């Protein structure tokens, strides 16, 4: 009997030791689990509440909030809630906003190099290639160097390979570049320089100010970005000519910025969620765009009475010549030349592969839907 009690006591002792060891291991492991209080970030977009870009910003917010599991939240505000569209970067830099959803071209007034991160020349690359340059070709390092050179207290990420932006909305069909000379036309960034070289009178405006400017006669024609945004502005109510295809902004993407001090104060896993959330939203944004842009183009054409035309190749060739002229001047800035050279070299290599290897999608479309494209 005494022997039995001894064995039971030993078993209890060993069991208790195992429990204690497990508890100790759990205690030691706890520091690897974030115990930070919930952090709420205030972010504003550069987009009106009814614009599809606002919906795309919300796709980013939703993904970040879901992945953070309640420990990190972003409260998102539409354009104008705190500052105007062109002021969001300054607000993030100063800490008035924790973050912003915008495009680099909206602050190209600080440096024309900013426009290279989405609205620069095209050497055969598209926006997918542009994002590849950002992530794999040295683009993000050059972007961070630009922020440092300008003394901006900002961290930025990129998302959404935007399809080619249309030449825009006009009162008459654009058949040659001569038809655009003297026109009062809205665009932004280096596209403004481009069209000025082509003899166009350019006014730079954020999206929400376009239609009022048309109604007041400040501008006579404009481009913004895509059929869905243009429809939401009511472009079809003030113009019936829509020209598709252009080299002025053919490879743009969103810029998602955060105040650097605020970002650095976050746990590493939260920083990772903000960064990789941009990559997740990039896909979601593009898929939404493909669905909605195509629907709204057909609505503009079939329901709103808009005449849709392909921009003539002669006009686009003239744009390339204008880009060449502008780059001679722009490259006098050593840092612009450095970024330009990096982007161009990457575009050359990647577009060579893509264009040589890609099937002719237009050939297939014409085979199955003959005559629809009209060019």
CATH of the domain at 315: 3.40.190.10
Do 347 and 219 lie in one domain? The reply is yes
Average pLDDT, the chain: 91
| pLDDT exceeds 80 at position 177 | yes
Domain count, the chain: 2
Instruction: Say if 1 falls within a structural domain.
Output: no
pLDDT digits (tens, 9 = 90+) for 185-238: 999 999 999 999 999 999 998 888 888 898 888 999 999 999 999 999 899 998
State the number of CA atoms in the 13 A half-sphere of 326 facing the CB: 25
Do 129 and 267 lie in one domain? The reply is yes
Do 80 and 45 lie in one domain? The reply is yes
3-state secondary structure of 216: helix
Do 71 and 211 lie in one domain? The reply is no
Do 268 and 306 lie in one domain? The reply is no
What letters, b where the CB count within 10 A reaches 16 and e where it falls short, cover 178-215? eebeebbbbbbbbbbbbbebbebebbbbbbbbbbebbe
User: Pairing mode, if any, of strands 184-186 and 221-222?
Assistant: parallel
The domain that contains 64 carries what CATH number?
A: 3.40.190.170
Instruction: Say if 32 falls within a structural domain.
Output: no
Percent above pLDDT 90 for the chain:
86
Do 324 and 193 lie in one domain? The reply is yes
H-state helical runs in 123-255: 127-136, 139-149, 190-197, 210-216, 227-233
Please report the pLDDT score of residue 19 as a whole number.
42
pLDDT digits (tens, 9 = 90+) for 65-80: 999 999 999 999 999 9
User: How far is it, in rounded angstroms, from Cα 340 to Cα 116?
Assistant: 7
What is the span of the domain harbouring residue 286?
39-162+252-290
Do 105 and 138 lie in one domain? The reply is yes
| pLDDT exceeds 60 at position 21 | no
Q: Residues 323-331: contacts with CB within 8 Å, 24+ apart?
A: 323/121, 323/122, 323/194, 323/247, 325/197, 326/190, 326/193, 326/194, 326/197, 327/121, 330/112, 330/190, 330/193
């Amino acid at each position: 009997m005494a022997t039995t009690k001894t064995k039971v006591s030993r078993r209890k002792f060993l069991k208790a030791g195992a429990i204690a060891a497990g508890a100790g291991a759990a205690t030691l492991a706890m520091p690897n689990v974030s115990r930070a209080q919930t952090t709420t970030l205030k972010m504003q977009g550069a987009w009106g509440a009814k614009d599809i870009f606002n919906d795309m910003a919300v796709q980013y917010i939703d993904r970040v909030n879901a992945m953070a599991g309640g420990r990190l939240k972003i409260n998102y505000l539409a354009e104008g809630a705190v500052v105007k569209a062109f002021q969001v970067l300054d607000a993030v830099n100063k800490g008035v906003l924790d973050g912003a959803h915008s495009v680099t071209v909206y602050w190209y007034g600080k440096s024309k190099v900013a426009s290279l991160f989405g609205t620069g020349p095209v050497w055969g690359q598209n926006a997918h290639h542009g994002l590849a340059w950002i992530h794999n070709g040295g683009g993000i390092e050059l972007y961070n160097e630009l922020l440092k050179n300008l003394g901006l207290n900002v961290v930025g990420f990129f998302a959404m390979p935007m399809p080619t932006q249309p030449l825009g909305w006009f009162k008459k069909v654009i058949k040659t570049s001569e038809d655009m000379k003297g026109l009062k036309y809205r665009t932004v960034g280096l596209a403004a320089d481009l069209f000025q070289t082509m003899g166009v009178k350019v006014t730079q405006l954020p999206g929400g100010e376009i239609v009022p400017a048309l109604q007041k006669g400040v501008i006579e024609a404009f481009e913004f970005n895509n059929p869905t945004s243009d429809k939401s502005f009511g472009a079809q109510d003030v113009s019936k000519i829509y020209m598709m295809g252009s080299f002025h902004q053919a490879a743009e993407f969103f810029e998602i910025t955060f105040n650097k001090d605020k970002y650095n104060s976050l746990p590493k896993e939260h920083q990772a969620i903000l960064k990789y959330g941009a990559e997740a939203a990039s896909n979601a944004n593009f898929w939404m765009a493909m669905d909605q842009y195509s629907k709204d183009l057909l609505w503009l054409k079939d329901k709103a009475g808009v005449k849709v035309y392909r921009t003539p190749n002669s006009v686009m060739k003239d744009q390339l010549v204008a880009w060449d002229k502008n780059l001679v001047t722009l490259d006098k800035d050593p840092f612009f030349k450095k970024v330009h050279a990096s982007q161009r070299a990457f575009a050359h290599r990647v577009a060579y592969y893509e264009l040589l290897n890609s099937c002719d999608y237009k050939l297939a479309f014409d085979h199955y839907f003959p005559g629809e494209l009209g060019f």
